[in-house]
Amino acid sequence: MSMFDRIWRLYGRFLRGCGFVAGYITFAMMLLVIANAVSRFLFNAPVSGALEITETMLTVLIFLSLALTQHEDGHIKVVVLTQHLPKVLRKVVRLFALALGAVFFVWCTKAGWEYAAKSLAIGEQQWGAVRYPLYPVKFMIFFGLGLLAIQFTLDFLREALGITINEEPVKQ
């Protein structure tokens, strides 16, 4: 097993852990929405702060899942133009797309860091039925974007070096 293969597998395990956290957040969000609906129906009173908490949970679960989806090659692909290209040109286009993705998400990560740090510095808060600080959510955005930038970089290296990863089936 090559060093790259080890890094790939270890990073994949870490991303699957993030995916499990996102799954638990999805379940908790579902319970909150159900509790809110039942509370409105039975008591004519919603769960206080349900909207704000749901917004926060949704943001966290999306950004925790992005890199895992990229790792598993699960994002939607449009191959209308590339499917008819010669194999070598397809590889060049894929390398370009992966490099562009890596650069873009490194930039997004940097911007996410600045956004989160500013939120922390000014003590930014969510206003609504419940008040709470926004910087933890913004740091999760930074974290998720950073994971995605790393994944695009690993994908680029894998493609450029012609490495095929023999993935073990995920144990259920």
Residues in the chain where the model's pLDDT stays below 70: 166-172
**pLDDT on residue 81:** 82
Domain assignment present for 53 = yes
Domain assignment present for 34 = yes
Domain assignment present for 171 = no
Note the pTM of the prediction, 2 decimals: 0.89
Domain assignment present for 28 = yes
One-character DSSP codes across 101-168: HHHHHHHHHHHHHHHHHHHHHHT-EE-SSS-EESHHHHHHHHHHHHHHHHHHHHHHHHHHHT----PP
Domain assignment present for 99 = yes
For residue 70, what are the domain limits? 3-161
Domain assignment present for 169 = no
**pLDDT on residue 167:** 58
Give the C-alpha separation, 52 to 56, whole Å: 6
Domain assignment present for 49 = yes
**pLDDT on residue 100:** 98
Please give the tally of structural domains in the chain: 1
